[in-house]
Each structure stands twice: as C-alpha cells, then as structure tokens.
C-alpha cells in the first residue's frame, strides 16, 4: 500500500507531504484546488511521461517520491524480473532536472522508465476520470472476466504459447520463402558455383599462378641468364670455381702466420661452401625452368578467369571469391536440403500450434463457466447501489483465428431498466450509471486481482443522495481487500473514509500554492459541512456532517 507521497517543485506545489492509511482514504477540495495536480504527480512517479512545463521553478529540480509498504511476498518475483532488490518498504522516485532530463529510481537505484512503469502497474490500479470510457472496450471486458474467473494465469500461458507459435511460424515462412527464391535462381546459382569450384580455390592460388605465369613468360631469358652464370663458374681457364678454390688453398697455407690470415681463411672457406650451394640451386632452377607455351596458355587462361570472376562478383581478391563460393553453396543447399528442413520446421510448428489451441480451449471454457456468475455478481452489487433492475450479459462467441485474447469474441450487453432489451453498454448506460458500474467493477477487481492499492479519481461523477452513500459503503467494502484512495466531491463518500486529506490553495502577493493536510475532529466536520452547504455553512449542515461521520 501507499504510505506517503512527497512532492517538491511541481505545478502549484512548493513542497508537500501526505501520509495515507491502510483502508479508505478520501481526498477532498474545491474545484481547482489542486487535486488533479496531486494525481498528476502520482502518475509521474508511476511512469507517466514527464513534462518540463509542469515544473514550478524551472531552475530547480522537481522531485516526487512515494513510499510503499509491500508485504506481499508474491511481488518478489516482479523485483527479480526487474533486477531490483526487494524491500518491504519500497520507494519510487521521479526527478525532473532543470535541463528537462527525467530520471527514475527504485529504492535509490537508477532504473529505466519502463521498469518503474512495470513495477508501478503491479502496485497501483490508477483510475482517472476519463477511464470510465474503458467500460466500452472489449479488452477491459476480457480483463474483468479473466480476473473474476481466476483465468489470468491461463491467459498468460496462452499468450506465451501464442508468442512462441508466431516465432515458429515466422521461421517456417522464412524457410519456405527462401527455398522458393532459391529455386527460382537455382540453375544460375549452380552455374556460378561450378565456375568457382572448377578453380579449386585456396588462399595462395592467385599469387602462385601469377608467379608461374611470369616465369613461363620469360623462360628463355631466365635460362639464358642461368646458363651465363654456369659458364662463369665452370670456365676451365678462369672459372669462378677454380679461382675461389685457388684462393682458398693459398689462404689455408697463410693461416699459420697469424690470426688475421686464419680469419680470412675461415671466411673464404664459408664463402666457398655457400657458393657451392648457390651453384647447385642455380643448376636445379635451370632444370625446373622450361619453355612451355601450352602451360603458359593454361595459366594465363586460369588467371583471366579469376580476374573476370572477381569483377563479376565485385570482390578484390581470391578470398572474396572463396566467400562467394561458400555463399552460393548455402543458397544451393537450401534447395537441395530445403524440403527436409521445411518438414522438420513444419512438425515443430504443428506441435506449438496444437498447444496454443489447447490453451485457448481451457481459457474459453473457464470464461464460459464464469460469465453467468460474473453477470449475476455485477447485477447483485449494482442493486445495492440503487440499480435493482440492472442486468448484464457476457456474450462469448468462438472465432477461428488465434487472437491476442484467445479464440473468443466477447460482447458485454447491459440493460438498466425492467422490461428493456439488452444493448451495448456504451449506448444505453447514462453517466451516473457508468460511474456506479465502474465502481462495482473495481470492487470485483480489488477482490480478485489483489493489487496493493487502488486510486479512484472522481469515480462518483453524476451520482448524489442515497446512491452516493451506497457508493461510500461499497468503497468501504473494497478497502477491506485493498488500500483505496478516493478523490471525491461527495460528502457522503468523504464521510466514509478512514483517513481524510484536504487539498487547498493559498495566494499571496506574488504566487499561488497548493497544500494538503490531514483532517480530523472538528476540521473534518467543517470540511464535510462545507461540501454540503457551500461556503455559507449552516448549523444544520454541521449536524448533517456529524450524522454522516457517525
């Protein structure tokens, strides 16, 4: 339940704080006193969109904080979902900075606004003046019927299964579409794939072929150059081999005459062996380099094909061609292996769809079992509010499609008077009747939905006299199941409250401010008497106020 609210620098409010009781809290005040401002601040801390224009002093921070007492252990799972620490006393805070930036906190932990909104929806049922129009909305009818029949968990199971079904259906449709698209271009893709496969691509292919083509293209020049080196080395009279060998022998004899000669001898010895290795390698290259016009043509054609395919597939190197080969392989496999994949996905889809329909069937049965009971409950409670001839009819019709709420079409029909046929509630119910109906609906939701707090903003519009007193009694009954905060203009309802708060304005030479205070004793008598008589309070008004309070 809500324990207190603190509002700083919001609209006409400088700095106010109000404490609430566990049962029926009534908030009264003249029209324009600021009750809607307090509601707006509360909406803000529950996740409504922030508006910088609502800040009283744009140079200062606006802070709204609400303290909640949360004894229900079932809400621990909500805190776990939000990854926020659970606390029996939880604070929700909203700040609007002078820059216009909005910040949200749960127990001093910064959170995204969506998390604040989600937790707030599990803590408070906030009914504003315009929400009576929800009585005409099919989703509201579903929420009422499912809450009354304890089918909310069933509905969640159905909706979770439906979400999985849509995911599996999307995968199936994508596979079918991909296979169809692949089939349409299969011949062309297969041809392109074979072009790439025939090259036997690997990462060094292009480099090796370009090097081989270069050698083949200049094979005669290479062999002639190698031959000239061999002649220089092996010339019988002055060949490099003989000269190096002679020099090697001379230095070997001089090695005994000093370290410098020995070092030179060693260096030349090394050079001799290195040259022997070089000569052997040159001879081997001479054997490997061949003049082969046919091989040159083959290599050149292969490279031309590589260059052409790189241009065709808009890639820069052989790695790009290898990626394209893998891509084409996958596309072609969709056709070659697609039927099996589609069949497996279709089986998975059928299993999920069967589960969704089973959940829908259970949900529909539960609704049918309780729809008459709910209609009777609404009728009984409305009779207590002076609508003894009111009747309801929840019409459920099966649908062939899987909708967000199940496979039922739901129409709520209403008759307010004896002998009058049923009609759509939005067309046949007056404003005062809709207010009483909404209060009765809220009483059922409070009992079955188990929200910690409920706030009703002038739900008594269009009601007066004995009906107002009856509505006060019903609010009292609701507050046994959930904390109820009612903003009202009716003295009968104000007198029913366990806790009474008054919102009022004060004006000085420079500004107007909204205040809130707890009423008790004679102050409460005066407030209710003023609601009865207006500004000119009479003795009879005071007496009537005391009677209402007693």
431 Cβ contact partners less than 8 Å away, ≥ 6 residues apart: 461, 462
CA pair distance 448, 153, nearest whole angstrom? 12
Residue 123 lies in a domain: yes
Report pLDDT for 130.
63
**What are the two backbone dihedrals, phi and then psi, of residue 316, each rounded to the nearest 5 degrees?**
-105, -15
pLDDT at 155: 94
Judge whether 78 and 118 are in contact, CB under 8 Å.
yes
Q: What's the pLDDT score for residue 131?
A: 65
CA distance 456 to 125: 8
- Rounded to whole angstroms, how far apart are CA atoms 182 and 184? 5
Yes or no: say if 382 and 436 are a contact pair by the CB < 8 Å rule: yes
* Residue at a domain's end among 302, 334, 366: 334
The total domain count for the chain is 2
- Residue 67: which of 127, 107, 27 has the closest Cα? 107
For 334, residues 6+ apart whose C-beta sits below 8 A from its C-beta are: 178, 179, 182, 341
- Going by C-alpha positions, the residue among 443, 448, 453, 451 that lies closest to residue 22 is 453
Bridge partners of residue 401, in order along the sequence: none
pLDDT computed for residue 355 by the predictor: 96
The reply to whether 277 falls in a domain is: yes
Q: Is residue 508 part of a domain?
A: yes
- Given this model, what pLDDT does residue 338 score? 66
Cα distance between residue 232 and residue 480, in whole Å: 116
Based on the fold, state whether residues 104 and 202 are members of the same structural domain: no
pLDDT recorded at residue 404: 93
Full pLDDT tens readout for the chain, 550 residues: 899 999 999 888 889 999 999 999 999 988 888 888 888 888 899 888 877 777 888 888 999 999 998 876 668 888 888 888 888 889 999 998 888 888 999 998 999 999 999 998 888 888 776 667 778 788 889 989 998 999 989 999 999 999 999 999 999 998 888 778 777 787 888 899 999 999 999 999 999 999 989 988 888 888 888 888 888 877 766 788 888 888 888 888 888 888 888 898 899 889 989 888 988 888 888 888 888 889 999 999 999 999 999 999 999 999 999 999 999 988 788 777 767 788 889 999 999 999 999 999 999 999 999 999 999 999 998 888 888 888 999 999 999 999 999 999 999 999 988 888 888 877 888 777 887 888 888 888 777 766 778 888 878 777 777 888 888 888 888 888 889 999 998 999 999 999 999 999 888 888 888 999 999 999 999 999 998 888 888 899 899 989 988 8
CB atoms within 10 A of CB 470: 21
Q: Which H or E run includes 536?
A: none
pLDDT digits (tens, 9 = 90+) for 123-142: 888 877 666 777 878 888 99
Q: Are residues 123 and 207 in the same domain?
A: no
Residue 529 belongs to some domain of the structure: no
Instruction: Kindly state whether residues 213 and 328 are assigned to the same domain.
Output: yes
70 found inside a domain: yes
End-of-domain residue from the set 319, 334, 349: 334
Q: Are residues 195 and 112 in the same domain?
A: no
pLDDT for position 158: 96
Same domain, 121 and 206: no
Taking the alpha carbons of 184, 190, 195, 199 in that order, is the dihedral positive or negative?
A: positive
Are 30 and 121 members of one domain?
A: yes
How far apart (Å, rounded) are the C-alpha atoms in residues 415 and 503?
38
Answer left, alpha or beta for residue 53, where phi above 0 means left and psi between -120 and 50 means alpha: alpha
Q: Which CATH number goes with the domain that contains 112?
A: 3.40.50.300
| Contacts of residue 362, Cβ cutoff 8 Å, sequence gap at least 6 | 154, 158
Write the secondary structure of 161-174 as one string of H (helix), E (strand) and C (coil): HHHHHHHHHHHHHH
Determine the Cα–Cα distance for residues 206 and 202; give it in Å rounded to an integer: 8
Positions of E strands within 314-415: 391-403, 406-415
Contact 394, 441 (CB under 8 A): no
Same domain, 86 and 217: no
Report if residue 217 sits inside a domain.
yes
Q: Which residue, 209, 199, 210, 203, is CA-closest to 318? A: 203
CA–CA dist 420, 401 (Å, integer): 34
The pLDDT tens digits of the residues spanning 225-257 come to 888 888 887 776 678 888 888 888 888 888 888
pLDDT at 305: 93
Q: What pLDDT score does 70 carry?
A: 84
pTM over 0.95? The answer is: no
State which of 334, 354, 380 marks the end of a domain: 334
Q: Quick one: 220 and 292 in the same domain?
A: yes
192, 330: one domain: yes
5 and 101 assigned to the same domain: yes
At 373 the pLDDT is: 95
Position 435 in a domain: no
Neighbouring-strand partners of residue 415: 391
Q: Which segments of 442-529 are extended strands (E)?
A: 453-457, 483-487, 499-507, 512-519
| Domain of 251, in residue numbers | 187-334
Q: How far apart are CA 198 and CA 187, in angstroms?
A: 16
Residue 84: per-residue pLDDT: 86
DSSP helix/strand/coil, 503: strand
- Same domain for 226 and 304? yes
Tell me whether residue 287 is in a domain: yes
Residues 107 and 219 in one domain: no
**DSSP code for 55:** B
Integer Cα distance of 90 and 315 in angstroms: 60
């Amino acid at each position: 339940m809500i324990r207190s609210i603190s509002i700083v620098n919001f609209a006409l409010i400088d700095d106010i704080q109000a404490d609430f009781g566990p049962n029926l809290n009534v908030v009264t005040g003249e029209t324009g006193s600021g009750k809607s401002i307090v509601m707006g601040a509360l909406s803000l801390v529950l996740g409504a969109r922030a508006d910088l224009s609502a800040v009283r002093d744009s140079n200062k921070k606006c802070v709204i904080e609400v303290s909640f007492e949360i004894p229900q252990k079932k809400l621990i799972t909500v805190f776990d979902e939000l990854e926020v620490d659970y606390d029996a006393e939880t604070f929700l805070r909203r700040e609007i900075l002078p820059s216009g930036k909005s910040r949200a906190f749960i127990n001093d932990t910064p959170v995204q606004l969506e998390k604040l909104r989600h937790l707030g929806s599990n803590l408070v049922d906030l009914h504003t003046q315009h929400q009576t129009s929800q009585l005409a909305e099919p989703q509201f009818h579903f929420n009422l019927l499912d809450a009354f029949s304890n089918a909310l968990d069933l509905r969640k199971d159905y909706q979770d299964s439906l979400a999985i079904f849509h995911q599996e259906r999307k995968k199936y449709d994508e596979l079918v579409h991909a296979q169809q698209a692949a089939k349409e271009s299969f011949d062309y893709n297969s041809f392109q794939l074979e072009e790439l496969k025939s090259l036997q691509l690997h990462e060094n292919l292009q480099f090796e072929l370009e090097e081989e083509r270069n050698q083949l293209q200049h094979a005669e020049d290479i062999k002639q150059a190698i031959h000239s080196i061999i002649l220089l080395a092996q010339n019988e009279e002055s060949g490099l081999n003989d000269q190096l060998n002679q020099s090697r022998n001379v230095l070997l004899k001089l090695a005994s005459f000093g370290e410098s000669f020995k070092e030179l001898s060693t260096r030349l010895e090394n050079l001799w062996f290195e040259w022997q290795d070089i000569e052997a390698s040159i001879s081997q290259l001479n054997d490997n380099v061949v003049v082969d016009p046919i091989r040159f043509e083959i290599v050149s054609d292969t490279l031309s094909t590589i260059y052409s395919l790189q241009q065709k597939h808009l890639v820069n190197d052989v790695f790009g061609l290898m990626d394209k080969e893998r891509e084409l392989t996958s596309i072609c496999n969709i056709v070659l292996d697609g039927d099996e994949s589609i069949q497996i996905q279709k089986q998975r889809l059928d299993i999920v769809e069967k589960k969704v329909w089973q959940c829908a069937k259970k949900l529909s049965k539960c609704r049918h079992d309780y729809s008459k009971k709910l209609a009777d409950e609404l009728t009984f409670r409305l009779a207590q509010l002076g609508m003894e001839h009111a009747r309801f009819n929840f019409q459920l019709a099966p649908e062939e499609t899987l909708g967000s709420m199940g496979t039922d079409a739901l129409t709520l029909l209403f008759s307010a008077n004896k002998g009058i046929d049923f009609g759509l509630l939005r067309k046949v119910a007056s404003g005062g009747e809709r207010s009483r109906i909404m209060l009765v609906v809220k009483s059922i939701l409070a009992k079955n939905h188990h929200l910690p707090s409920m706030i009703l903003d002038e739900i008594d519009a269009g009601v007066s006299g004995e009906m107002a007193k009856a509505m006060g009694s019903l609010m009292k009954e609701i507050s046994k199941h959930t904390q109820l905060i009612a903003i009202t203009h009716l003295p009968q309802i104000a007198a029913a409250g366990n806790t009474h708060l008054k919102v009022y304005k004060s004006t000085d030479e420079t500004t107007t401010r909204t205040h809130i205070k707890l009423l008790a004793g004679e102050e409460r008598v005066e407030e209710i008497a003023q609601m009865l008589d207006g500004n000119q309070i009479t003795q009879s008004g005071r007496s009537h106020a005391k009677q209402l309070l007693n």
